[in-house]
A and B are shown apart, each in its own frame.
Chain A
Amino acid sequence: MITAGVDIGSTSSKVVVLEEGEKILSKVIIPVGAGSSGPARAFEQSIREVNLSREDIKRVIATGYGRNTFTGADQQITEITCHARGVYELVPGVKTIIDIGGQDAKAIGIGKGGTVSNFIMNDKCAAGTGRFLEVMSRILEINIEDLADLAASAKNEISISNTCTVFAESEVISQLSTGTAREDVAAGIVQSVVGRVAGLVKRIGVQSEVVMTGGVCLNWMIIKVMEKELDVPVIASPMAQLTGALGAALLAFESAS
């Protein structure tokens, strides 16, 4: 049986196609999310790559911020449940998940059998989200992927006192204009995101294994600083931003069998 998970975030669309709930046939990421042609394109591409058509897919589950707008799905499940299922498959010992998405950050407590026991999300604010990192990378004139390496070379990390993205933006600009080194600012940016998200995680209680998902977990400095902040090892999900789509595809398999 073939199933698929479509994770439609605010900034990207991700699809995983699974065979028998085990073998990944294809995985696609398109860097445009909800409200665009991204989800449909990502889905098309993922099935075309393996010469399948929609009829070959027994069940499709959509998740993520744009889950309700994707017409090709049989069911919608929140990203909280899907991330939990995806991570549990990849790291069965998981107890705590940190997911930093484009517009929100969440901490999820995992109970027996990989089920969600508790979750908490950031408040209505971009601080501590992927969007914050994006805005800051733009000011530093670097690709978001290069932020970790830049931050790693910091000598005198600065502290960013504003949590509001707009205020932090002007704070960073004024730091740069007064001659603060870009790497020191980059380290401050990483610390700001980690500090904010670690607060969420501590609220639900830190329990090992701690796994981080979402595109931001590709930033190795964030993982490193998070480990320091939480005082436990943090594992980056092997499927990073595809973890939610994997979870959705697994749940699709389980509900169809």
Chain B
Amino acid sequence: MPEKLTSRNLLNQLQTRHYTNAYAAKMKGQLVGWATSIFPQEFCETMGLTVVYPENHAAAVAAKRGALPLLEQAESEGYSVDLCSYARINLAYMKSQAAEIPIPLPDFILCCNNICNTLIKWYENIAAELNIPMILIDVPYNHGYEPTPAAIDYIKSEFGECIRQLEKITGQQFNQERFQEVMILSNENSRAWKRALDLNQAVPAPLNGFELFNYMSQMVCARGRQETGELLKLLIEELEEKIRLGKSCYEDGEKCRVMWDGIACWPHIKHNFKAFEKNGINIVCSSYPEAWVLLYEPGNLDELAKVYSMIGNNTCMEYQADKREREVKNFKLDGILFHVNRSCKVMDFMQYEQQRLVAARTDVSIMNFDGDQADPRNFAAAQFETRLEALMEIVAHNKSAKKSKEVTNNDPA
């Protein structure tokens, strides 16, 4: 009897296919693009273009422990160690193409600075080195709670320019009907992704946080595709079944529920997982995979502009704190782990104030640790473990104090 297809297997198949298809397209002489991770993929998907995502690729390289040679190569070429490690990995890869998972070099690049401005210089560099066109969707930072009408108009005008440039690069016309279909599909997938993430509100949570990071790759690379919908459907079914059976993702059950704030520490993900498992701590939610929940009314370009503008890093302090506060409640969190990421300055800059705000509004325990999303040198295992264990001790103490208070309160005497 053939084995039942699990969502995990399907995810692996889809991710492998994503990279092999890109190579096959290149071999056939088709155009291949590189895009930043939260670029409005609706436009290139409508044009039927093959696109790969350097940040996703760099993460995969780092998780397979292949980052260091590329980082050293970039540094020997003159890139600063202070530069985002995804950028260093990709800029080195562009030159040497030395990685276990290969991606074809691009014929055009798509950049949206809704997550940071490092991307602009990084992509300009690629465009200059490879002498290829670059499409930029420049998104102003949201100092207020939401984008201003002027910002929305500005972003929409760039959507128009993006379409014109894509038509020029491909020599094809942009098909509005197909655009509508892609938007509908993208929203269905985003909704399903949100549903899958929200299922982890169950106690115990059915999905391990590190798995969240894995499934997320499909949302980065193919959130406007049919097959992503199939994957998410399967994942949701599995999670619902686990919830029905009251199954935790850990054999010994879940002792502590936390949010992982920031990007994963890809080179040390196995170590991190073991440290969490040993302590019975589960990452039930994270700001990271959440970023690919992009919901808007299909066909409404104002909303499309707004949703791509309101990505975590691009939003104000208050908006982010409100979001975290909601998550503490909805996911019944005991703690939040802030990854102070050497690479991602824009994220780190807001972290301490976020910690203060969330600590003032909730009774969640907070811990932070130093690391890096892809540079293995910026992480110390012993320090990480001590902080994690200390967090666990605080949470365990708070829980038992709460329990004994409840017992006292319920005591009829």
Contact = CB atoms under 8 A, between A and B. Distances in A.
B378 A78 contact: no
Given A123-B370, A124-B378, A118 B386 contact: no
A203 B352 contact: yes
Interface residues of B, number: 22
Given A79-B386, A120-B368, A123-B340, A115 B352 contact: no
Contacts of A116: 390, 393-394, 397
Interface in A73-117: 76-81, 104, 115-117
Given A123-B340, A124-B370, A124-B378, A78 B383 contact: no
Given A121-B383, A121-B387, A123-B370, A81 B359 contact: no
Contact of A78 (B366, B370, B390): B390
A251 B352 CA distance: 31
Contacts of A124: 370, 378-380, 383
Given A115-B397, A118-B359, A120-B368, A65 B387 contact: no
A81 B383 contact: no
A124 B368 CA distance: 12
B352 to A, nearest CB: 6
B382 interface: yes
Nearest to B398: A115
The contact size tier of chain A is 10 to 19
A153 to B, nearest CB: 36
B385 to A, nearest CB: 8
Contacts of B386: 65, 78-80, 121
Contacts of B378: 124
B354 to A, nearest CB: 13
A220 interface: no
A78 B388 CA distance: 9
Nearest to B359: A118
B389 interface: yes
Contacts of A78: 386, 389-390, 393
A148 B79 CA distance: 42
A100 B286 CA distance: 32
Nearest to B382: A65
A208 B198 CA distance: 42
Nearest to A77: B393
A36 to B, nearest CB: 16
Nearest to B392: A78
A225 B397 CA distance: 34
23 contacts: A77-B389, A77-B393, A78-B386, A79-B386, A80-B390, A81-B390, A104-B383, A115-B394, A115-B397, A115-B398, A115-B401, A116-B390, A116-B393, A116-B397, A117-B394, A118-B365, A118-B366, A119-B390, A121-B383, A124-B370, A124-B378, A124-B380, A124-B383
Interface of B: 340, 352, 359, 365-368, 370, 378-380, 382-383, 386-387, 389-390, 393-394, 397-398, 401
Interface of A: 65, 76-81, 104, 115-121, 123-124, 203
Given A78-B389, A119-B367, A124-B370, 8 more contacts: A76-B389, A77-B393, A81-B390, A116-B390, A118-B359, A121-B383, A123-B340, A203-B352
- The 7 lowest CB-CB distance pairs between A and B, nearest first, are A80-B390, A78-B390, A124-B370, A123-B370, A81-B393, A78-B389, A116-B394
